[in-house]
Amino acid sequence: MSVSTILGRVFELKPMDKGYTRLTIVYNIPFKTKTLKFNAWNEDMLSSFKEGETVKVAYTYKNSFLQLLAIDRTLIDSCPICHTFMEALDAQRIECEGCSTIPKDQHKIRFNAEMKLISLEPKQYMYSNGLRLEFLLEIEKKRYTYVIFENSLLDKISQDLKIGEKYFVVGWKSTQPGCYLDIVDITKGFY
């Protein structure tokens, strides 16, 4: 049995009707944010944790399903270039293992800007339903697209999005040609 560990943030702790708790962990890898979802049957293991806490998680796969082995609170740090989560140090880091393995021309830019939602279109994609969003970054006069798929991190906020409203959008912007974003969070603007 191979055991893997990650550093991440508790995104969701949701008790389910069938007796288990859905635990969603968000973690950063070089230039990308990913999630792991566990169906945890051991409530005692999760009883002291809250959404937003930073944790170290040990897990394995059992019959193609994720199995949570351990979860502990920990302090985490992130690389200033690729935002990969790393164990907190009391010293300056010289190099991050994450961004040093990816060629410079494939690096992405961390994106945090206020944008106007100009299009919101439900679409059927090959394997899932999605909501295609189009944002306008008024400063650059550029349009950016993104798709929120069912059961993704942003799915639960997608019902509250309204065309014409301004939102703060956080994520990754490719340095390659095209106007695509990999969005991590969308919050309502101050207007």
pLDDT in tens, 66-121: 889 999 999 988 887 788 888 887 666 666 777 777 777 777 888 888 889 999 99
Handedness of CA 80, 151, 14, 68 (dihedral sign): negative
Cα separation of the two ends of the chain: 52
pLDDT of residue 189: 64
pLDDT of residue 56: 95
For the entire predicted model, the pTM comes to 0.71
From residue 186, alpha-carbon distances to 131, 146, 154 in Å are 14, 11, 8
pLDDT of residue 163: 92
Distance of CA 152 to the CA centre of its chain: 9
Q: Which helix (H) or strand (E) holds 136?
A: strand 129-137
Task: List % helix, strand, coil for the chain (3-state, nearest 5).
Answer: 10, 55, 35
Most confident of 33-47, 113-127, 174-188: 113-127
Q: Quote the mean pLDDT of the chain.
A: 84
- For 164, the 3-state DSSP assignment is coil
